[in-house]
């Protein structure tokens, strides 16, 4: 059977921040795709504002570059573990992978994770050692690390013969040599390696149609859009086809629109055939893993696995005293509609109604997955409240089990004992500890997910910001009993509503760390700081200095308060205890107690204490 030599389908995979999005950008610039006069910026593939700010890829992107009369379809995949399910599904759409590895950091946990998925699909790899111009770069050692990783993951002899290209995507240079002096301003070695190494798709376009969406998109104009690869046959606009559903039923529909990809654009096309990566609309309820087939030959493709959620939070309508002041969308109906709209495209998300009015249980793949959803909604003008993240327990082989994660940490040697102590307290089990040179220690742990909730802030403090912390979901294991992680410090809670004053904060700040400065509006039950001890304290932060006609001393006039700790969304979620919520609006992130009234809250705490004794 002939192959389609005119196209190649590849995924680009890497650990977070190893430069794959920058590399795709450079491939676009140096191909025959985009007008050379058009400025596409530094990270053209990251179109989402949050992606640009954080420098991470959240949503998979499809692009295509023209090289002469040939085309390379490229899928830029997320590098973070919370979006690993998407990486896995994408592997079924391609024939090879570009593995990008930082020439300084080398192989990291996510490198292992995505590469393992690629080997499971028997994909052909090309290795790109990026950032060769970085200070401290060690490209030859990194190639050895990659080789060790390939062997460890069970690559066959053929898989170990991978081509290696050395590059600086930021500068648009590459070379087959590890010597930085040999870098040339071209991406030709990459293009050549793709066409020489990655298998061309089989051309079976004369056989009955099979198409399977691996990703979903949504448009207000055409509804749900299935994105995937034509596995077999040909599909045209206007064709009548069958959709073989996951529940075993069949639905017939007419193809209303087909889209292909070129450069950064999704363009309408009339026809696609085996090997093409396309998007298809016309079926409102199409889902990932279903099969679009020829009605005369309804053969289903194997169902794609979708990662189950491991973490859940309660989202609820904002009911604080400041509710409705800052947001555009504040009602329960608007929040519910928005969450349901997210389900159109995010297959790893679950949303369930609760018995509480205006509250939903939202489950996802991790803290980042859910916090990005909240941040996106906040920027769209929503107000809402979210509870502390909780892990999802499951019954596995008759035992109550909880999710565990594989943790890899790189830390300066002088902080390693502090990090080890902190992970031991969170019930982490050390797997390996090794010196990696340059005064750095690499620690590998297996730890329960609930012990890692809120850990990143503690870790960055412990390593003075010099440590690198990565974690990937590993498996479910039997629950660790008689242990409940949580915040060790109590909260400083406002007893009234008003505007904070310098005078009041000066009287409170020796109790702990403040989250608000002077001139900030607060309400009763709002958390304004962290107590240095383990109990909550009700404080007055709005009190004004008594006025008298005696002139104050110069010292008193110039007294100032300490700079408060600014609590962003993720820091606030990590801080929460079970009886607290984070209030999120387009303008502010506030932390509050579930029961705002001070006396009612204290009575409730006494009842809880009596019940546990």
- Please enumerate, by residue number, every residue annotated as part of a binding site for GTP: 17-22, 130-133
* CA angle in degrees (0–180, nearest 5) for 462-466-472: 80
Burial class (CB in 10 A: 0-12, 13-18, 19+), 549: exposed
DSSP class per residue in 185-239: S--HHHHHHHHHHSPPPB--TTSPPEEEEEEEEEETTTEEEEEEEEEESEEETT-
Burial class (CB in 10 A: 0-12, 13-18, 19+), 83: buried
DSSP type of residue 248: S
Residue 93 corresponds to which tokens in the numbers above?
């759409």
b/e per residue, 573-609, with b = 16+ CB within 10 A? Answer: bbbbbebbbbbbbeeebbbbbebbebeebeeeeeeee
- Which residues on adjacent β-strands are paired with residue 271? 236
* Three-state secondary-structure class, residue 103: coil
Picking from 569, 607, 613, the residue whose alpha carbon sits closest to that of residue 590 is 569
The beta-strand segments (E) located in 103-179 are: 124-130, 164-168, 173-175
The Cα–Cα gap between 408 and 470 comes to 5
* Three-state secondary-structure class, residue 106: coil
- Give whole-number Cα distances, 382 to 315, 316, 580, in Å: 12, 11, 20
Picking from 28, 62, 64, the residue whose alpha carbon sits closest to that of residue 43 is 28
Residue 41 corresponds to which tokens in the numbers above?
């910026």
Binding site membership: which residues? 17-22, 130-133
The Cα–Cα gap between 332 and 324 comes to 12
Sequence-distant contacts of 430-437: CB under 8 A, at least 24 apart: 436/410
């Amino acid at each position: 059977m002939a192959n389609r030599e005119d196209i190649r389908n590849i995924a680009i995979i890497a650990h977070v921040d190893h430069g794959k999005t920058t590399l795709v950008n450079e491939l676009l610039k140096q191909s025959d795709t985009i007008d050379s006069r058009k400025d596409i910026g530094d990270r053209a593939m990251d179109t989402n504002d949050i992606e640009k700010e954080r420098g991470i890829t959240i949503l998979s992107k499809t692009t295509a570059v023209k090289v002469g009369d040939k085309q390379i379809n490229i899928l830029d995949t997320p590098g973070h573990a919370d979006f690993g399910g998407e990486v896995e599904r994408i592997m079924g759409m391609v024939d090879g992978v570009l593995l990008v590895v930082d020439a300084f950091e080398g192989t990291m946990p996510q490198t292992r994770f995505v590469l393992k998925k690629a080997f499971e699909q028997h994909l052909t790899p090309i290795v790109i050692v990026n950032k060769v111009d970085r200070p401290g770069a060690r490209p030859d050692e990194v190639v050895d690390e990659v080789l060790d990783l390939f062997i460890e993951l069970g690559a066959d002899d053929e898989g170990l013969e991978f081509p290696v290209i050395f590059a600086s995507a930021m500068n648009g240079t590459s070379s087959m040599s590890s010597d930085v002096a040999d870098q040339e301003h071209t991406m030709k070695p990459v293009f050549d390696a793709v066409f020489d190494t990655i298998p061309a798709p089989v051309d079976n376009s004369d056989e009955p149609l099979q198409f399977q969406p691996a990703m979903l998109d949504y448009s207000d104009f055409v509804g749900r859009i299935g994105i995937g690869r034509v596995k077999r046959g040909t599909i045209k606009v206007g064709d009548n086809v069958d959709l073989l559903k996951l529940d075993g039923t069949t639905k017939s529909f007419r193809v209303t629109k087909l889209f292909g990809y070129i450069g950064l654009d999704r363009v309408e096309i009339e026809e696609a055939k085996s090997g093409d990566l396309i998007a298809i609309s016309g079926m409102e309820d199409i889902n990932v893993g279903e099969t679009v087939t020829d009605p005369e030959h309804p053969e289903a493709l194997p169902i794609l696995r979708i990662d189950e959620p491991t973490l859940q939070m309660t989202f609820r309508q904002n009911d604080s005293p400041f509710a409705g002041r800052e947001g555009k969308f504040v009602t329960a109906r608007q929040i519910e509609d928005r969450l349901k709209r997210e389900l159109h495209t995010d297959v790893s998300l679950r949303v369930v109604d609760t018995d509480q009015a205006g509250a939903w249980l939202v489950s996802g793949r991790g803290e980042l997955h859910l916090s990005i959803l909240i941040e996106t909604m906040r920027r769209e003008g929503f107000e809402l409240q979210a509870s502390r993240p909780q892990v999802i327990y499951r019954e596995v082989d008759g035992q109550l089990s909880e999710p565990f994660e594989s943790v890899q940490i790189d830390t300066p040697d002088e902080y390693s004992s502090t990090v080890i102590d902190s992970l031991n307290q969170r019930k982490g089990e050390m797997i390996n500890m090794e010196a990696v040179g340059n005064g750095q220690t690499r620690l590998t742990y297996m730890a329960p997910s609930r012990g890692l909730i809120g850990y990143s802030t503690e870790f960055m403090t412990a390593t003075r910001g010099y440590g690198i912390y990565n974690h990937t979901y590993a498996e479910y294991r039997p629950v660790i009993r008689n242990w409940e992680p949580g915040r060790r410090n109590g909260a400083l809670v406002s007893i009234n509503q008003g505007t904070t004053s310098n005078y009041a904060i000066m009287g409170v700040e020796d109790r702990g760390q403040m989250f608000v400065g002077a001139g900030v509006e607060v309400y009763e039950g709002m958390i304004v700081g962290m107590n240095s001890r383990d109990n909550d304290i009700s404080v007055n932060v709005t009190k004004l200095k008594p006025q008298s006609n005696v002139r104050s001393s110069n010292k008193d006039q110039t007294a100032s308060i300490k700079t408060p700790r600014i609590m962003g969304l993720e820091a606030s979620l990590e801080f929460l205890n079970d009886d607290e919520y984070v209030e999120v609006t387009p303008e502010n992130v506030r932390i509050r107690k579930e029961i705002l009234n001070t006396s009612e809250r204290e009575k409730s705490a006494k009842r809880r204490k009596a019940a546990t004794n």
